[in-house]
Structure 1
Amino acid sequence: MFYFMTVRFFHTSDWHLGQFFYNHSRHYEHEQFLAWLLEQIKQKQPHALLIAGDIFDVINPSSQAQKQLYQFLADTHELAPHMQTLMIAGNHDSGYRIEQVEPLLAKYNAKTVGVIRWNEDNTLDLERLILPIYDEQKQIVAWCIALPFLRSAEITGFNEHTTNSQNAIAYLHQQLIEEAKRRKTDEQALILISHAHMQGGETSDSERPIIIGNEEALSTSLFDDSIDYVALGHLHKPQKVGQDHIRYSGSPIPLSFSEINYKHQVVEVTIDPSKIDEKFTFQALHIPRTVDLFHIEDPLEQVFIELKALEKGEIPNIDQRHYVFIEYSTTIPPQPNLRQQFEDALPKDRYRLVRISRQYLSNENNAENKQTIHLEPPTPEKLFQQIWEKKGYHADEEVTKDFLSLVNEAQKKLEDDQSS
């Protein structure tokens, strides 16, 4: 006779610790988020915290960003000693770097999976990728398949099942799911945590494209019906993909102005294997936003009116002031001191004007003649498209995918060089 056991865990991802937003540190915002999350952990005492990749914003995070993570892990362990923290590397992380501190993580009941590893006989090292989750009595209540961001060089060329990225990805999922099913019992749940772009997911402009073998988005058909919950990372908008139990938690703070309206959250998940229907339930724990983003898009004269109407009240610490993006339209060239005019119109010491974009309108106000001028450097993809089109070619989808695949391989080589 056995007893079914309920597992409760938090799903979060895409923290991007150490991010600079238009050269402004997000350290304060992340501190506020982590303090809020600590309070949720203290109150709810989950069995596990799953962090689905992009823990840091860059592969070589600052000492301040690393300290922020490790202090959080120490604090969580003090508040909930039984809780396990399971982390995977995202495409912004160095998988090798985050695995280097395993002895430290073990002291805080934390585990990280950064890279896919293979045995000497070219079989997949399954042991590191299938992790047990325990309850307060040290009973296994669930098994978690941990899949970090999959880089082509780490998954192809090892055996006849990994001749290219597509069949290697399918092979990895099949091997891991089958082994996890062999290990689990009927009273235990099965969870999968992955950092990937899934087909049907809604993106924002702050997410770096991740191309594997010319394929960006993966199919949810990779996930077996036996999996009770799929905890995804990479896309910053909280959303389900196809089915309720396949979800992105989203990022804890807006990472671009396109994410202003996102309802940032941590997903609290409960799985009860004894139930035939509705085994899993979830609750969105909405994260309070401590620093707001304002995007003002109007004719120049109206912009000044809206700036002056913004809420007043000084915020002494510049890291706590709100961000402003102005996108104005005009039929005449702007005055050279326009930025200073914008600054003067803003309520004093409450906002940070981080971006200005001009839309030039013809005198006929013809929308077809409208030109948008952006002051930020172009992304590699946009720069490639501009050069390609100047040569007289059309940068179609396949050409762009090939280019992004080369960019991804170059980034991987840079990460390898810096990790060696």
Structure 2
Amino acid sequence: MRVLHTSDWHLGQSLHGQDRDHEHHAFLTWLLARIVALAPDALLIAGDIFDTVNPPLKAQERLYDFIVNAHEALPSLTIVMIAGNHDSGSRIELPAPLMRRLRTHALGRVLWLDDGNLDCERLLIPLSDASGATAAWCLALPFLRPAEVTGPHLGEDYLGGIAQVHRRLIAAANERRQPGQPLIAISHAHMAGGAVSLDSERSLVIGTAEALPASLFDDSVGYVALGHLHKPQQVNGEQRLRYSGSPIPLSFSEVDYPHQILQVDFEGEQLTQVLPHRVPRAVDLLRVGPARLDEVIAKLEALPLPDLLASVVQHPWLEVRVQLDEPQPELRTRIETALAGKATRLVRIAVEYLGTGSREDTAALQHLEQLRPEQVFSRAWEEQYGSAVDEATLGDFLLLMQEDELEEQP
């Protein structure tokens, strides 16, 4: 049994207002070629397929064109994709009946039956091998919102509800599988111990709830294909619990990440190898600075001229970080003049003001788009009331954010 694990495509994402469709198209074209070359039995897409709950039409076309092309290239391939916290669960599931004809399963939310039991049937997906026989079972765990795992019959403990979903689904999978069939989970969650990208990952911590423990997945689960964290990593060093990471850098803080997909191979129930495949970068992200203005200008003037054979959409995205003692009214003009004719696309200028006196403190001026909603709320609260926001109030704010996202879904 061979599985490919990927996540966090964020189709439709823009980088400081700049469209990235060219990069997503290049990734999907490369992924289709890897599917043909590696002939996997299944492709797992672990959430945050889109960047917003209402993605642009072009982003949706990219996803569905890829699914059709993958099915035509490898008709035996099973695709399982789940909703992440950026996705609308309803939108992900909307074309599910049509996608099943393409051996694609789209899971956006968990449902409970009238008797209070978890609807495990829709979350357990058989994975077939090349002969068509069921060789493994996939446990699909889309991002679990509070409204889905709390309530009159479940209690109001968010983490307790999440634990209950995992426990019931794993138990149902173990009842169903036959000897030699591994359990492979796909989940969109923030697991304890995971390294977070500073700029581009929306917090999944709700109120006082912490990141989820790896113990949610007992030893009967042979591999856990995780999504949400953009940096490829193992959870607590476990070979079987992995984030594949995002296929392209979604912010300048991710420039040095080894963007990849993961090839996961089983012999019967035994996990034999997890092999990364690096995704070629269609467009580089370039950061100049932080440095003094004269040094920054010199580095910008030394940047290469464009290759006459290269398209503009291949030119690197550029972030410039400047250290100043005081505001410079002509800052942007000087930077744009230095970049005239260069093979780059300027998307952001970040300014750091250096303090004066014996102690040189550097305070970065952050743009609103760099701050997470809870950071904006905390700053506004402190400015209004002169004290830090308490945990209970911040928790209520985060719950309202979740409810608002649900209301936005179609």
For normalisation by structure 1, the TM-score amounts to 0.91
- Return the match for 1:386 from 373, 379, 388: 379
Q: Does structure 2 conserve the Cα–Cα contact (< 8 Å) formed by 1:8 and 1:47?
A: yes
- 1:361 aligns to 2:354 (yes or no): yes
Match of 1:191 in 2: 184
- Return the match for 2:279 from 281, 287, 306: 287
- 1:337 aligns to 2:356 (yes or no): no
Runs of 5+ in structure 1 lacking a partner?
A: 1-6
Residue-by-residue CA offset, 1:330-359 (whole Å, 9 max, x unaligned):
22331x232122122126252111111111
Match of 2:318 in 1: 324
Q: Distance in 1 between matches of 2:393 and 2:368?
A: 24
Instruction: Give secondary structure in 1 for the equivalent of 2:229.
Output: coil
Match of 1:308 in 2: 301
Q: Distance in 1 between matches of 2:401 and 2:262?
A: 33
Residue-by-residue CA offset, 1:158-211 (whole Å, 9 max, x unaligned):
52x444212211111111001100111121111110000000000012001113
- 1:254 aligns to 2:219 (yes or no): no
Structure-2 change in CA distance of 1:362 and 1:177 (3 Å): closer
Match of 1:83 in 2: 77
Structure-2 change in CA distance of 1:55 and 1:175 (3 Å): same
Q: Does structure 2 conserve the Cα–Cα contact (< 8 Å) formed by 1:57 and 1:93?
A: yes
Match of 1:266 in 2: 261
Runs of 5+ in structure 2 lacking a partner?
A: none
Match of 2:135 in 1: 141
Q: Distance in 1 between matches of 2:314 and 2:19?
A: 10
Q: Does structure 2 conserve the Cα–Cα contact (< 8 Å) formed by 1:173 and 1:222?
A: yes
Q: Distance in 2 between matches of 1:372 and 1:114?
A: 38
Q: Distance in 2 between matches of 1:68 and 1:216?
A: 35
Q: Does structure 1 conserve the Cα–Cα contact (< 8 Å) formed by 2:206 and 2:398?
A: no
Residue-by-residue CA offset, 1:237-264 (whole Å, 9 max, x unaligned):
0000021110000000001111011000
- Return the match for 2:19 from 1, 18, 25: 25
Structure-2 change in CA distance of 1:111 and 1:379 (3 Å): same
Counterparts in 2 of 1:18-417, with a 5 A limit? 18-157=12-151, 159=153, 161-204=154-197, 205-212=199-206, 214-242=208-236, 243-273=238-268, 275=270, 279-296=271-288, 297-314=290-307, 317-334=311-328, 336-346=329-339, 348-364=341-357, 366-368=359-361, 370-377=362-369, 378-390=371-383, 391-395=385-389, 400-415=394-409
Structure-2 change in CA distance of 1:371 and 1:187 (3 Å): closer
For normalisation by structure 2, the TM-score amounts to 0.94
Q: Distance in 2 between matches of 1:311 and 1:259?
A: 23
Q: Does structure 2 conserve the Cα–Cα contact (< 8 Å) formed by 1:198 and 1:220?
A: yes
Instruction: Give secondary structure in 2 for the equivalent of 1:295.
Output: strand
Q: Distance in 1 between matches of 2:206 and 2:327?
A: 45
Instruction: Give secondary structure in 2 for the equivalent of 1:111.
Output: strand
State the one-letter code of the partner of 1:411.
E
Structure-2 change in CA distance of 1:365 and 1:108 (3 Å): farther
Residue-by-residue CA offset, 1:34-70 (whole Å, 9 max, x unaligned):
1110110010100000000000111111111111011
